C-alpha cells in the first residue's frame, strides 16, 4: 500500500502546491480560508481519480502483485491522511493570520469548528468515491458537479414539502441542537459509519469491476 500512497501523492503534487499557496493568499486579501478549503474538498476526489483515468493506472496496478482491495484501501487512507494534513495546515495558517494581520474581519477558527469541518469534508469526499469506482470518470464527475449544485436545493425543497405533512423540521431542529450540544459525540461516530459504508461499497464494486 505504501507504493500506492506514494503514487497518489506524486500524481497530486500540483493540487498540493495550489493549497499551500492559495490558502495564505486568501487571508492576505482578507478572505476566510473556508472557500479555499471548500474548493479543495470539491476538487480532491476529481483529482484522485482523474490521473488514474487518463493513464489507465488501475489496469496497470491490478496487473501487479497488489490486490484490488489494497487499491481501494490506498484511496481511502490517502484521502483521510491528505485531508487531515490539509486541515492542519488550514488551522495553523488561520491562527497565524489572525495574530499577524490585524485587518481581518472574520473570526478565527475554533478547534471545534475546525474539527467539525474536517469531519464533514471526509463524509462528502467518501460519499462520492464509490461513484468514481463504479462509473466512468466523466459520468461520476458530472454527477458530482450536478449533485453539489442542485442537491442542496432539491433537499431543501423536499424537507419543506415533507414538513407540511409531518412537521419534520421540528425533528431536524432537535437534531441540530443535539449536534451543537454534543458535536463530537454525534459527528465522530457518524463520520466513521459513513466512511466504512463507503469503503465497503467501493471494495465490493471494484472486486467485480471489469478493467479489460
Q: How many structural domains is the chain composed of? A: 1
pLDDT tens digits, one per residue of 142-154 = 999 898 888 777 6
Of 121, 114, 119, 125, which Cα lies nearest the Cα of 33? 114
Q: What is the pTM of this model?
A: 0.84
Range of the domain at 147: 2-208
Whose cell is 481511502? That residue is 76
Whose cell is 472486486? That residue is 207
Give the separation between CA 212 and CA 202, rounded to whole angstroms. 18
Give the separation between CA 194 and CA 172, rounded to whole angstroms. 19
pLDDT tens digits, one per residue of 53-83 = 776 666 666 667 778 898 899 999 999 999 9
Give the separation between CA 140 and CA 8, rounded to whole angstroms. 19
* Per-residue pLDDT band at 8 (split at 50, 70, 90): confident
Amino acid at each position: 500500500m505504501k507504493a500506492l500512497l506514494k503514487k497518489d501523492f506524486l500524481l497530486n503534487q500540483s493540487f498540493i502546491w495550489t493549497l499551500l499557496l492559495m490558502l495564505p493568499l486568501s487571508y492576505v486579501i482578507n478572505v476566510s480560508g473556508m472557500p479555499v478549503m471548500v474548493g479543495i474538498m470539491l476538487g480532491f476526489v476529481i483529482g484522485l481519480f482523474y490521473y488514474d483515468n487518463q493513464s489507465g493506472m488501475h489496469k496497470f496496478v491490478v496487473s501487479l502483485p497488489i490486490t484490488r482491495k489494497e487499491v481501494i484501501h490506498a484511496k481511502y487512507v490517502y484521502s483521510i491522511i491528505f485531508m487531515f494534513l490539509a486541515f492542519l495546515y488550514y488551522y495553523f495558517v488561520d491562527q497565524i493570520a489572525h495574530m499577524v494581520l490585524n485587518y481581518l474581519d472574520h473570526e478565527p477558527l475554533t478547534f471545534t469548528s475546525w474539527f467539525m469541518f474536517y469531519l464533514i469534508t471526509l463524509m462528502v469526499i467518501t460519499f462520492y468515491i464509490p461513484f468514481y469506482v463504479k462509473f466512468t470518470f466523466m459520468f461520476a464527475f458530472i454527477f458530482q458537479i450536478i449533485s453539489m449544485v442542485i442537491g442542496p436545493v432539491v433537499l431543501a425543497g423536499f424537507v419543506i414539502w415533507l414538513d407540511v405533512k409531518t412537521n419534520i423540521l421540528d425533528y431536524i431542529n432537535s437534531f441540530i441542537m443535539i449536534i451543537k450540544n454534543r458535536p463530537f459525540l454525534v459527528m465522530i461516530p457518524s463520520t466513521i459509519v459513513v466512511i466504512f459504508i463507503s469503503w465497503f461499497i467501493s471494495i465490493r464494486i471494484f472486486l467485480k469491476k471489469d478493467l479489460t
